[in-house]
A and B are shown apart, each in its own frame.
Chain A
Amino acid sequence: MMDRTTKALTGQGIALSFGGIEVLKGLDVQFRAGEITGLIGPNGAGKTSLFNCLTGAYTPQKGSIRYDGQPLDGLPPAARASRGIVRSFQHVALSPDLTVLENVMIGVARNHHAGWLHAFLPTGRGRREMAGMRAAAMAALSELGLAQAAEKLPAQLPPGMLRLVEIARAIVGKPDVLLLDEPAAGLNNAETRDLMRSLRRLASPDLVMVVVEHDMDLVMSICDRIYVLNFGAFVAVGSPAEVRADEEVVRIYLGSDDE
Chain B
Amino acid sequence: MSDQSASLNGTAVGQGRLALRPEALTWAVLLLLLVLPFLLGGSWIFTLGVCFANAIGVLSVSVLVRYGGEVSIGHSFFAAVGAYSVAVLDTRYGLSLIASLPLALALGVVAGVAFAWPSRRLSGIYLAVSTMALALAVPEMINNMDGLTGGYEGLYVSQPVIPGVKMGLQRYYGALIVLALVVYGLSRLRRSRQGLVLLLAKAHPAAADAFGTRRVWARIAVMGISGGIAALCGAMLGFAGSTVSPSGFTLWSAIFLLVGSVVSFYGLTLPRALIGGAFLTLVPQMLSASGAWIPVLYGLALLGVILFGHYLPRLRALARRKGGA
Contacting pair A109 B16 (CB below 8 A): no
Contacting pair B213 A103 (CB below 8 A): no
Tell me if B210 counts as interface (CB < 8 A to partner A): yes
Q: How many angstroms from the CA of A148 to the CA of B212 in the assembled complex?
A: 27
Contacting pair A112 B193 (CB below 8 A): yes
Total B residues in contact with A, Cβ cutoff 8 Å: 32
Which residues of A sit under 8 angstroms from B120, Cβ to Cβ?
none
Which residues of B sit under 8 angstroms from A86, Cβ to Cβ?
210-211
Which residues of A sit under 8 angstroms from B14, Cβ to Cβ?
96-97, 153
Contacting pair B214 A119 (CB below 8 A): no
Which residues of B sit under 8 angstroms from A62, Cβ to Cβ?
none
C-beta contact mask, A95-128 vs B, less than 8 Å → 1, else 0?
1111100110111011010101011111000100
User: Could you say which of B85-93, B196-204, B257-265, B308-316 contacts chain A?
Assistant: B196-204
Q: How many angstroms from the CA of A81 to the CA of B213 in the assembled complex?
A: 9
Tell me if A55 counts as interface (CB < 8 A to partner B): yes
Which residues of B sit under 8 angstroms from A106, Cβ to Cβ?
196-197, 200, 208, 211
Q: Tell me how many residue pairs across A and B have CB atoms closer than 8 Å.
A: 106
Q: How many angstroms from the CA of A126 to the CA of B208 in the assembled complex?
A: 21
Query: Distance in Å from the Cβ of B154 to the closest Cβ of chain A?
Result: 32
Which residues of B sit under 8 angstroms from A107, Cβ to Cβ?
211
Task: For A95, give its contact among B189, B194, B202, B212 (CB under 8 Å).
Answer: B202
Contacting pair A97 B211 (CB below 8 A): no
Which residues of B sit under 8 angstroms from A130, Cβ to Cβ?
191-193
Query: Distance in Å from the Cβ of A183 to the closest Cβ of chain B?
Result: 15
Contacting pair A82 B199 (CB below 8 A): no
Q: Can you give 26 contacting A-B residue pairs, CB < 8 Å?
A: A56-B209, A57-B209, A77-B209, A78-B214, A86-B210, A93-B203, A94-B203, A95-B199, A95-B200, A96-B6, A96-B14, A97-B14, A97-B66, A98-B196, A105-B193, A106-B200, A109-B212, A110-B212, A119-B188, A119-B192, A119-B193, A119-B195, A120-B185, A120-B188, A121-B188, A129-B193
> Which residues of A are interface residues toward B (Cβ below 8 A)?
55-57, 76-78, 81-82, 86-87, 89, 93-99, 102-103, 105-107, 109-110, 112, 114, 116, 118-122, 126, 129-130, 133, 153, 169, 173
> Which residues of B are interface residues toward A (Cβ below 8 A)?
6, 9, 14-17, 66, 185, 188-189, 191-197, 199-200, 202-204, 206-214, 217
